[in-house]
A and B are shown apart, each in its own frame.
Chain A
Amino acid sequence: SQKIEQNSEALNIQEGKTATLTCNYTNYSPAYLQWYRQDPGRGPVFLLLIRENEKEKRKERLKVTFDTTLKQSLFHITASQPADSATYLCALDMITGGSYIPTFGRGTSLIVHP
């Protein structure tokens, strides 16, 4: 069956370092992949979308890579700040009942220490 895996353990890093989060998937070939940020008690907020024919995408301090051979996406936050502390979700489009529906991983919690 199709699976999306994100590290369930929280990632703790020091302010100023680069945070790298991983999203692995199996038994599927998504056309695109998205990353969202979710703060406690709030809805997810869209960050970046990368298509299958793109290897890398950047937005300010954020960078996403998409390796369709490894079936993996990496999400990087450079020069991390305490305000970057949140849960980060990856989502893949999956055909469900005939429609493309973003299917989310469980998310990885990032904690940036000052």
Chain B
Amino acid sequence: NAGVMQNPRHLVRRRGQEARLRCSPMKGHSHVYWYRQLPEEGLKFMVYLQKENIIDESGMPKERFSAEFPKEGPSILRIQQVVRGDSAAYFCASSPSSPLVSEQFFGPGTRLTVL
């Protein structure tokens, strides 16, 4: 059973471009979470999704950021018109059920660099 997969592993964008980060959860997992991690800082929750539904996006910036988890295919975190402050590691995690009863399985992350 493959683990959580994220691609690309490294992404370089110039200011104003769009960044698309993909996450394929573990087989059988229907819950996906996105986190952002800055150097020397903790993981900051961004958004929690189930198939075709955004459950909680309280950690997402109000502008430029969006996420989806379609019925088929990976979850996508999209950042429009990137700025230097968006440079960070973005981690995706999945779980088979509510986080109340199970741990999260993390992917290797996508390191976004904005020039």
Contacts and interface: CB of A to CB of B under 8 A. Distances in A.
A106 B41 contact: yes
**What 7 A-B pairs have minimum CB-CB distances, sorted nearest first?**
A43-B106, A97-B58, A46-B103, A106-B42, A104-B43, A99-B56, A97-B56
Contacts of A84: none
Interface of A: 4, 31-32, 34, 36, 41-46, 49, 89, 93, 96-107
> What is the interface of chain B mostly: helix, strand, loop, or mixed?
loop
9 contacts: A34-B103, A96-B58, A96-B59, A97-B56, A97-B58, A99-B99, A104-B43, A106-B41, A107-B42
A42 B109 contact: yes
Contacts, number: 61
A102 B4 CA distance: 18
A100 to B, nearest CB: 5
Contacts of A107: 42
B81 interface: no
A45 B48 CA distance: 19
